Amino acid sequence: MDPRFNYYGTASGGKFMKHLLSAAKVVSGSTVPSTTLHLVELRASQINGCGFCVDMHSKDLAHEGETSVRLNLVAAWREATVFTDAERAALELAEQGTRLADGAGVSDEVWENAAKHYDEEELATLVSLIALINTWNRLNVITRQPAGSYVPGQFG
């Protein structure tokens, strides 16, 4: 698959990407564990069918030492026993925050469960990350960015 065009090579795309990268720095500076952040990014990317982001976040997780068992079970996290309660709360928040068109948004039950595991700053991080990864997914899916060539750390 070839990209439709070099979105990131345009003046507008490049400027927008700089702002997204700035937002990503805020998220990565959080007290939410890096593994949890990447799991959220991976799950949202799976839901959105963003091959580029699935490639990136699964490789980033593996690079950080994540096991293949957990990587392979992210799509079926509800049935898996390998995730902590906090990770499961973040994954559920990510799913409902990504699938807005499928229902009534994020339920009170899901929010309250996440709030049991994360303080307000961490919840702000998770909400911001879910919004951010959904933006990246949409940019990459719309422009048909191909998957498979990502190398961990290539974007700094």
Residues 127-154: pLDDT tens digits? 999 999 999 999 999 999 999 999 998 8
- The pLDDT score that the predictor gives to residue 19 is 95
Answer whether residue 156 shows pLDDT above 80. Answer: no
Taken in order of first residue, the domains within the chain and their CATH numbers are 32-142 (1.20.1290.10)
- The pLDDT score that the predictor gives to residue 64 is 94
Determine the residue type at 69. V
Predicted confidence band of residue 104 (pLDDT cuts 50, 70, 90): confident
Q: 6-54: per-residue pLDDT in tens? A: 888 999 999 999 999 999 999 998 999 999 999 999 999 999 999 999 9
CB atoms < 10 A from the CB of 130, how many? 23
Which single residue is written with the structure tokens 């995730």? Answer: 83
Answer whether residue 111 shows pLDDT above 80. Answer: yes
Between the CA of residue 120 and those of 35, 103, 117, what are the distances in Å?
19, 25, 10
Are 143 and 4 in contact by the 8 Å Cβ rule? The answer is yes
Record the tokens describing residue 69, joined without a space.
């068992």
- Distance in angstroms (rounded) separating the CA atoms of residues 121 and 19: 21
- What's the distance, CA 6 to chain centroid? 22
- Burial readout 131-150 (b: 16 or more C-beta within 10 A, e: otherwise): ebbbebbebbbeeebebeeb
> What is the model's pTM?
0.95
Please tell me which residue, 155 or 68, carries the higher pLDDT value: 68
